[in-house]
Amino acid sequence: MLTSYSTRSFFKIGLQAMLAVACSSAALAQNYPTKPIKFVVPFPAGSATDSVGRIVAQAMSEALAQPITVENKAGANGIPGADFVKSAHGDPYTLLVTTSTTQAANVSLYKKIPYDPVKDFTPIGKIGGTGFILMVKPDFPAKDMKEFVAYAKTHKLAYGHGSSGSLVSGALVSNLGGFDALSVPYKGIPQAMTDLLGGQIQFAFADVGNAITQIKGGTLRGLGVTTTVRAGKAPNVPPIADTVKGYDVSAWFAIMAPAGIPPDAAKKLEATLRTVLAKPDVREKLGNAGIDMDVQDSAALAKTIDAEIKKWAGWVKLAGITPE
């Protein structure tokens, strides 16, 4: 049986141990990061997500004084990349450069996915968004969206897609436009652009950043943008909604961490992201990549994801897409 003295000693030692652990954890969080960080991009090099990830990685690396490497894990609408980060539960050194595809649309595009877009991740912050532009070769018979819809109704066309945004964009324009088109999947939008240039498919939807490069180079033409207003980087491309009523598709980008990371590490990542996204040079680089800035903190991003899951469910249904 413990004496009153030994009981007091026991609790004193226990309290000291608890304080030591707390101080150690606080010091660890305060010193975070102490080693390189990995950004997992769930789409291929050259994609809009890849561009966003590399711009933000460079800026955050400088701010945190630690290297940030970018690793592309492309394919299956971003599912392997998202699942990889989910599996790094509690690791603040493995982050996901996420999109509306991985965090919202996949819930409706697939009957089952190996991760929960809400429960398996810690929101860090939203960066911005982009629309898509319907791209065709320079010699395509249609010169505008009205002519495109009329042509598509009398010819069997195939379109390429490498993300949920480009898939839904194609399915939605065909469904609302009243024509059938063959859907051809790719690992990413850049690969779809390659086959479009080669004539294997007749049209594809590219994010604004990739589309502008092709339009300025004269290699492809843009007939319409998926957003209801003209894109800042493509003022001469009218909204598809001007011709196809009710049409509206857009994508967004954000940084997520696995669930279970230390709260202080999450706060530091959030604060650092917010700081770098306020820098004029970073905003300019993202703007040049076709990204419209729409910065949100972790709390706002969490609400956005909930709302976007519902929004994409509506778009997928309207596009007539059957979940795989």
Contacts of 253 (CB under 8 A, 6+ apart): 48, 49, 52, 97, 98, 99, 126, 127, 128, 129, 130, 291
The band of 7, judged by pLDDT with boundaries at 50, 70 and 90, is: very low
- Using a 10 angstrom Cβ sphere, with 0-12 exposed, 13-18 middle and 19 or more buried, the burial of residue 63 is middle
Q: pLDDT value at position 12?
A: 52
The band of 181, judged by pLDDT with boundaries at 50, 70 and 90, is: very high
In tens, the pLDDT along 44-91 reads 999 999 999 999 999 999 999 999 999 999 989 999 999 999 999 999
CB 252 within 8 A of CB 128: yes
Does residue 178 carry a pLDDT above 80? yes
Q: pLDDT value at position 29?
A: 54
Backbone angles phi, psi at 206, to 5 degrees: -110, 145
The band of 231, judged by pLDDT with boundaries at 50, 70 and 90, is: confident
CB 211 within 8 A of CB 135: yes
In tens, the pLDDT along 303-320 reads 999 999 999 999 999 999
Which of 53, 106, 83 shows the shortest CA–CA distance to 276? 53
Does residue 13 carry a pLDDT above 50? no
Could you tell me the two tokens for 215? 């339009």
Domains of the chain by start residue, with CATH: 36-129+251-319 (3.40.190.150), 132-242 (3.40.190.10)
Q: pLDDT value at position 232?
A: 79
For residue 240, the 8-state DSSP code is: G
Mean pLDDT of the chain: 91
